[in-house]
Structure 1
Amino acid sequence: MKGILSRYRDPKLAKRVVERIRDLARDVPKIRIMHVCGTHEWTITHWGIRSLLPENVEIRAGPGCPVCITPASDIDSMIKLAKDGINILTYGDMSRAKGSRMISLEDCRADGGKVKIVYSFTDALKIAKSNPSEEYIFFSAGFETTAPIVAYSILKGLPENLKIFSVHRFVPPAVGLIAESEDLAIDAFINPGHASTISGMKAYKQYFDKTRKPMVFAGFEPLDVLLAIYMVLRQIRERSPKMENEYRRSVTWEGNLNAQKCMKDVFELKNGYWRGVAVIPDSFMDLSERFSGVDARKAYGLDIGGGDHFPTEARCAEVIKGLIDPPECPLYMKECTPATPIGPAMVGVEGTCRIWAQHKITGKGFRCFSGVCRMG
């Protein structure tokens, strides 16, 4: 496997693909391509892929960070319960995301709230089993990549003292909404690799059929992304939009049927708010009535979250939707840094602002959509 992956970082192969991208770009108008995956953004930023592209080819980062799009009111609900003495189990980056009052679970813990960081859902299960006299809630975030293990565990049976607060989101409807948006004016998509491994390419077909915008499913190595860009441009030049699979070593048309069955048995797709984006139909994975006994929303009378609640002057929503680059936000790398994050896009490990900040992209000179970036 190591030998196979090394080919996807081969500089000679990458150079050849870049040359072909440049050749194709001469025959197409200005093109805006969006991805919706934080790992894709890391690859693009870390390997400087934007700097290799022709001026008429733009790559924008969309809402590919589950922490970034979790509604502030859902964070508020977890903070309230933690203050009331209920143990909240959450991932590290989610603990730093701020709710509507600009308070995070991390702040709550510092103030005496019962919050514990876990690295996986398996950790949450172990903690609950080891402390049967305590009540626990798992703040269950993520896309369809992380939802199956939660669903599988619910089907097997959870410890009686553990409940689930689902904020899981399903990616394909978000791609569909963006594809139809005239404001965003996206011409084509690089679809996520991990999430699509679960959902399969077929989950995107209805959105492709409606918009006829090129969609390429891509892996996470630099050559994966470059090949995906090449495939998009080839479709546009040939005026033959389609769904193509660059990531054949993982993504299939049907996807992971066992994982899909687990999710279908446990969750119901409902309208769900994506922070900074919109209410997106059939994108919120809510626990079905069959599993109301483990549903923290029902047990504690919690509403389904909604509303942005971003800090004054912050342009988080525009970053999350790919309308602007992080340096265009007046708080970026000033008040809002990885050490002192204010907006959710600086908190989530897959957030665009955090990725750009880690790579020290701060102002003019670095090739990006806005033209206001440089390496600092």
Structure 2
Amino acid sequence: MKYVDEFRDPQKAKALLREIQTLTTQFGKTASQPLKVMEVCGGHTHSIFKYGLEEILPDTIELIHGPGCPVCVMPRGRLDDAIAIADYPNVILTTFGDAMRVPGSQKSLLQAKAVGADIRMVYSPLDSLQIAKDNPDKEVVFFGLGFETTAPSTALTILQADAEGLQNFSMFCNHVLVIPALQALLDNPDLQLDAFIGPGHVSMVIGTEPYHFIAQQYQKPLVVSGFEPLDILQSLWMILQQLIQGRCEVENQYDRIVKPEGNSVALNAMNTVFEVRQKFEWRGLGDIPNSGFKIRPKYAQFDAEVKFTLPNRQVADHKACQCGEILKGVMKPWQCKVFGTACTPENPIGTCMVSSEGACAAYYKYGRLSKVAKTAVGIN
């Protein structure tokens, strides 16, 4: 298939749904004991809600929403650190738009901007580099966050800054790694999963090879998927084929983009600039060993954690917010007691309601009315 419309063909979707229904029946799954499949990536969560896939799938399949939203896993303490940087004199802090409304312990970056901090939204870390060139009397700091998807662009920006000899540019590094997070989930006794829909964007960079431990060590199938409706449905069909045939493998549905070995240019840039932290705090998941990047000493002149003194505190989540349980996959968005009432996209209490890839925001936008309707007639 060549065009987007082909990946949204309703007739092909109906055919796949019939196949999925037949396979779940053969596999012996029921509504009371459904097949539990986690989609790791927030982009998949968004697509699932946007196209109503959860509504049309048989009730013998339960989709579990994972921690693959980069904004959602950012802990409050790291947001406080970013705000502390922005409060320094002569500092311009730049970041992506989604990060602007993530609540810290006292305020968000957007609220800090409203009371006078110079915080600017950018579309690329290279935009921050240009701001540094345009403002030589200011210290420009890019608040870098995201999985391996966005880390290469940050790494390449630091290499560019080094090549140009810029003295007034640095980066507050909060890039995280997907594989340690998956291992932490698999080691969680409260979460029972049958299979994974693997992240498409991250896999463009790291490839499919790093996931093999999931199939080999934990005996869980994983299919790396694209983001269109037919991509996700086909990935579920591939998972069911594996389970029925007694296989447990890593398969690549998104092979039009993802290669087993990943992207060598992106991997080389990351490995040149970054090294792995001993641990990094994830919202809802706590400290996970070897799960985040930091800037190598060779590039310390571009490391905001070296340039600035930061609070560096762990801050507990808001008492009413249950984002942690949602990120771990043990709770659905609508089960949170503040979902859609005290916590909305306009006034988010937790991170899952901020990013468009967050499960709460996606469900609030696309799915909450259907859930209310189902609840009214006694369907859970």
Partner of 1:222: 229
Distance 1:366 1:125, change over 3 A: farther
Partner of 2:141: 137
Give aligned pairs, total: 367
Comparing 86-95 with 251-260, which one deviates more in the overlay?
86-95
1:300: how far off? 1.1
1:84: how far off? 2.5
Q: 1:74 aligns with which of 75, 78, 82?
A: 78
Q: Is the 8 A contact 1:296 1:302 kept in 2?
A: no
Unpaired runs of 5+ in structure 2?
A: none
Distance 1:196 1:58, change over 3 A: same
How do 1:1-376 and structure 2 match up within 5 A? 3-28=2-27, 29=29, 30-85=34-89, 86-101=91-106, 103-158=107-162, 159-270=166-277, 271-302=279-310, 306-307=314-315, 309-359=316-366, 361-362=368-369, 363-366=371-374
The percentage of aligned residue pairs carrying the same residue is 36
Residues 180-212 of structure 1, C-alpha deviations (whole Å, 9 max, x = no match):
322111111000111101000012223332112
Q: Is the 8 A contact 1:297 1:303 kept in 2?
A: no
Distance (whole Å) between structure 1 residues aligned to residue 80 and residue 379 of structure 2: 36
Distance (whole Å) between structure 2 residues aligned to residue 228 and residue 280 of structure 1: 28
1:154: how far off? 1.4
Residues 100-125 of structure 1, C-alpha deviations (whole Å, 9 max, x = no match):
23x11111111112211112212111
SS at match of 1:25: helix
Distance (whole Å) between structure 1 residues aligned to residue 97 and residue 4 of structure 2: 29
Unpaired runs of 5+ in structure 1?
A: none
Distance (whole Å) between structure 1 residues aligned to residue 246 and residue 155 of structure 2: 41
The letter of the residue matching 1:340 is N
Distance 1:163 1:371, change over 3 A: farther
Residues 40-88 of structure 1, C-alpha deviations (whole Å, 9 max, x = no match):
0111111111122222211111001111111211110111222222221
1:304: how far off? 6.1
Distance (whole Å) between structure 1 residues aligned to residue 312 and residue 303 of structure 2: 12
Distance (whole Å) between structure 1 residues aligned to residue 281 and residue 97 of structure 2: 22
Distance (whole Å) between structure 1 residues aligned to residue 47 and residue 159 of structure 2: 35
SS at match of 2:291: strand
Distance (whole Å) between structure 1 residues aligned to residue 156 and residue 236 of structure 2: 36
Q: Is the 8 A contact 1:275 1:306 kept in 2?
A: no
1:171: how far off? 0.9
1:38: how far off? 1.3
CA RMSD of aligned residues (A): 1.8
1:360: how far off? 5.0
Q: Is the 8 A contact 2:280 2:288 kept in 1?
A: yes
SS at match of 2:281: strand
Comparing 18-27 with 47-56, which one deviates more in the overlay?
47-56
Distance (whole Å) between structure 1 residues aligned to residue 215 and residue 295 of structure 2: 28
Distance (whole Å) between structure 2 residues aligned to residue 237 and residue 100 of structure 1: 48
Distance (whole Å) between structure 2 residues aligned to residue 353 and residue 156 of structure 1: 37
Q: With the length of structure 2 as denominator, give the TM-score of the two structures.
A: 0.92
Distance 1:360 1:53, change over 3 A: closer
Distance (whole Å) between structure 1 residues aligned to residue 221 and residue 366 of structure 2: 30
1:157: how far off? 2.5
